[in-house]
Structure 1
Amino acid sequence: MGWPMCLVPAKCRLNKRFPTVKAAVRGVTRLEFLLVLSIVFLNVAIFLPFVVRSRDAARRAECKNNLKQVGLALANYHDNFAAFPSGFEVNPNGNYLGWGWNLKILPYSDAADVYHRIEPHFANGIHGLKDVPNWNRQLSSLCCPSDTDVEKVPHAMVVTGKVIDGVVAAGTQNWQSRLPRSSYVGNAGYLQLEAGGIQYNSAATPTSIVPLMNAGSLGNVGVVQSPRYRYCDQKSFRGFFGQNSHVRYRDVTDGTSNTLSVGERYSPADATASATGYGTWIGVPDCTNAQGLAMSLGDASLRINIGMPFREQTTGFGSLHEGGANFALGDGSVRCLSQKIETVLFRYLSVINDGSYQSPQGK
């Protein structure tokens, strides 16, 4: 006898033994969303400073490498001419020149073609470049990567007249030009109390002094000063560079490893302001005031980064690196000096022959 036939359909029997279970679909709760979001923000807060710090370290290293190349070019120039280039050139009589130290070392860099384009116009001075096409090229090797405003170049006044018996004719600064920028200016040293760091009023009594608000006055240069101080004479400022200077290794009696040659200059935040504080590799377009001199030179009258965090205009030294600025020394080495360095020590380091033999403490 066979098995009795099951009258229940197979589908029903299957569902009875193995009931179908439908998974419940549930959304993410607000608490879970906030928890995930807080974890993301926590990770960002933890790792972002490391990312920013590493980027700044990379930019600082690139800036140091730029200065090392500048130091090497200066050494090569000295090997060929037995002296470092002039801070800037002024003819005793004739056209105002203004060519700076940075231009003169371009043949020893990757921008030799720029130098050779300008060289035929040396006798005419910076003013003679107004009709020369494509001379004012921005050179990345002379720009600090941390200075994002380095491309903002204001107009600068350029001397167009003559020099008579070493004195620049008055009222001849009337050609405006957009000069190529540089983040690195030559160390001019500093003047003594009566003529640098604080303003000396020659019209009043010799004891009348007025503190300067600007960082590094370059001796309050200008026509009110005697010829000795007027155009940043190297023998008065005692730095690596000055008007018609020709400093040799043997002149640096404090030691090349103890003396600053070139330092950083940050761009002012307001690009629409006057050109004071902006650096250029072409030279000094106008040596009759601190604005023009500071485009190629800097002095150590006041401390590093005096204008931070507002980045006010300065004729001294400073950078957008955190806590200090990079400097090339006379021996070609590069150090980052802290903005907390004592002003007296900073001045010692800026002078080539003060007998202090101070050594820079920096990385």
Structure 2
Amino acid sequence: MTHRRFSKSAFTLVELLVVIAIIGVLVGLLLPAVQAAREAARRMQCSNNLKQIGLALHNYHDTHIAFPPLYISRFPGYSDRANWITMVLPFIEQANLNNTYDPNTSTGGGAGNKFLNAAEIPTFRCPSAPQNAPATYPGIDGFTWALGNYVCNNGLGPYVSVQPQAAQIATVVREGVFMVNKKTGIRDMTDGTSNTLMVSEVIANAPGPSTSDWRGNLTYPENCMFHWNEAPNSPAPDRLRNQLCTSTPIAPCVGAFTSFSQRNIIVTARSMHTGGVQAVFGDGSVRFMGQTINLLSWQAMGSPNGGEVVGDES
């Protein structure tokens, strides 16, 4: 009787190494594509957030015949009240949060607004940005402030705020759309609403509960604005209060002042998106602004009524 022998086939070591190498190559090719797809989705959500903010600003304008001011400051005593973000809360389905606002208490540390200051608002968080914990500042009774990534156009800085000895508490070299105690309307955008920046992005830089960096603070008056001295994502450092500034490669800064009385602030639009930032314009449109944009074009879009001709946006 003849018996047939059947040999079992198996991978040789060389074949196994080849298969592993092929899998490694495929993973290497697919992973960047997956990451790019995820970033595209995050960027789309960021754009949607900005569209909601732009719509909220226009609904505010329809109600009040102007856009909100940067924030309200009362004399005497230099007492900061609601900023523009607080004012648009009812128009982004946050009326209940807005109802917690105490107009008789400063948002710069008043106990009556502790809940408002600490509330994280999803609409104001870009999913591409580092997901940081709320910032805390123990120097004011350990109050907590939430961070966000969308800030308004204050102008060509520096923003300067001086205690009540000064006749004007805020001056900039050239005004943007949002100024202290001053409302700007569509009628004032003589350069055209589609040519005027309203809101852009900032990197909320603190890695966790921290007193070291307040950029992106949603309700504190110093931190809800950007300037157009530099193009988006510029390596030039922002200028902030010494104790509220931590410089990193993605968001450099230098301490420019120490006290509450003198605020010599310049904050540049920045984001974690590759190559630029997103921005809302006066007509409510959202556009991606490349970081290689001609600086004069960027500044022309920052000015609502400077009479400049907007050039290439690339």
Scaled by the length of structure 2, the TM-score of the pair is: 0.82
Structure 1 distance, partners of 2:78, 2:170, is 18
1:316 alignment partner in structure 2 = 268
Residues 222 and 79 of structure 1, relative CA distance in 2, 3 Å threshold? closer
The CA deviation at 1:52 is 1.2
Structure 1 distance, partners of 2:312, 2:198, is 12
The answer on 1:53 being equivalent to 2:53 is: no
Larger CA Rg, structure 1 vs 2: 1
Letter in 1 for 2:153: N
1:297 alignment partner in structure 2 = 225
Residues 70 and 346 of structure 1, relative CA distance in 2, 3 Å threshold? same
2:146 alignment partner in structure 1 = 180
Letter in 1 for 2:120: Q
Structure 2 distance, partners of 1:239, 1:47, is 44
**Does the 8 A contact of 1:95 with 1:125 survive in 2?**
no
Letter in 1 for 2:148: S
Q: Which consecutive residues of structure 2, in runs of 5 or more, have no partner in the other structure?
A: 237-247, 254-266
Question: Aligned match of 1:125 in 106, 113, 136?
Answer: 106
SS at match of 1:37: helix
Structure 2 distance, partners of 1:87, 1:56, is 31
Aligned length: 288
The answer on 1:74 being equivalent to 2:13 is: no
Letter in 2 for 1:130: A
**How big is each residue's C-alpha offset from its partner over 1:262-294, in whole Å with a ceiling of 9 and x where there is no partner?**
00001226557755452122241xxxxxxxx2x
**How big is each residue's C-alpha offset from its partner over 1:34-77, in whole Å with a ceiling of 9 and x where there is no partner?**
11011111111222222111111110110000000000000000
Alignment of 1:76-115 (within 5 A): 76-94=59-77, 96-115=79-98
**How big is each residue's C-alpha offset from its partner over 1:246-276, in whole Å with a ceiling of 9 and x where there is no partner?**
0011111111100100000012265577554
**How big is each residue's C-alpha offset from its partner over 1:308-336, in whole Å with a ceiling of 9 and x where there is no partner?**
98223452111001111000001110001
Alignment of 1:151-190 (within 5 A): 151-156=132-137, 174-190=140-156
**How big is each residue's C-alpha offset from its partner over 1:163-204, in whole Å with a ceiling of 9 and x where there is no partner?**
xxxxxxxxxx855522111110001110xxxxx4xxxxxxxx
Structure 1 stretches of 4+ with a deviation exceeding 6 A read none
2:194 alignment partner in structure 1 = 257
Residues 299 and 176 of structure 1, relative CA distance in 2, 3 Å threshold? farther
**How big is each residue's C-alpha offset from its partner over 1:19-42, in whole Å with a ceiling of 9 and x where there is no partner?**
222322354211111110111111
Letter in 1 for 2:130: T
Residues 39 and 228 of structure 1, relative CA distance in 2, 3 Å threshold? farther
Question: Aligned match of 1:280 in 196, 217, 231?
Answer: 217
**Does the 8 A contact of 1:257 with 1:359 survive in 2?**
no
**Does the 8 A contact of 1:185 with 1:279 survive in 2?**
yes
Residue identity over aligned pairs, in percent, reads 27
Over the aligned positions, Cα root-mean-square deviation in angstroms equals: 2.7
**Does the 8 A contact of 1:147 with 1:267 survive in 2?**
yes
**Does the 8 A contact of 1:74 with 1:105 survive in 2?**
yes
Structure 1 distance, partners of 2:190, 2:148, is 29
**Does the 8 A contact of 2:135 with 2:206 survive in 1?**
no
Relative to total residues, which structure has the larger strand share, 1 or 2? 2
**Does the 8 A contact of 2:154 with 2:226 survive in 1?**
yes
Residues 122 and 254 of structure 1, relative CA distance in 2, 3 Å threshold? same
SS at match of 2:19: helix
Is 338-347 or 24-33 further displaced after alignment? 24-33
Q: Which consecutive residues of structure 1, in runs of 5 or more, have no partner in the other structure?
A: 1-15, 158-172, 191-195, 197-217, 285-292
Structure 1 distance, partners of 2:30, 2:234, is 31
SS at match of 1:123: coil
**Does the 8 A contact of 1:337 with 1:360 survive in 2?**
no
2:123 alignment partner in structure 1 = 141
SS at match of 1:331: coil
Residues 241 and 79 of structure 1, relative CA distance in 2, 3 Å threshold? same
SS at match of 2:289: strand
Structure 2 distance, partners of 1:133, 1:270, is 21
**Does the 8 A contact of 2:70 with 2:179 survive in 1?**
yes
Residues 360 and 68 of structure 1, relative CA distance in 2, 3 Å threshold? farther
Structure 1 distance, partners of 2:107, 2:140, is 12
The answer on 1:63 being equivalent to 2:36 is: no
Residues 328 and 46 of structure 1, relative CA distance in 2, 3 Å threshold? same
2:280 alignment partner in structure 1 = 328
Structure 2 distance, partners of 1:82, 1:222, is 26
Scaled by the length of structure 1, the TM-score of the pair is: 0.72
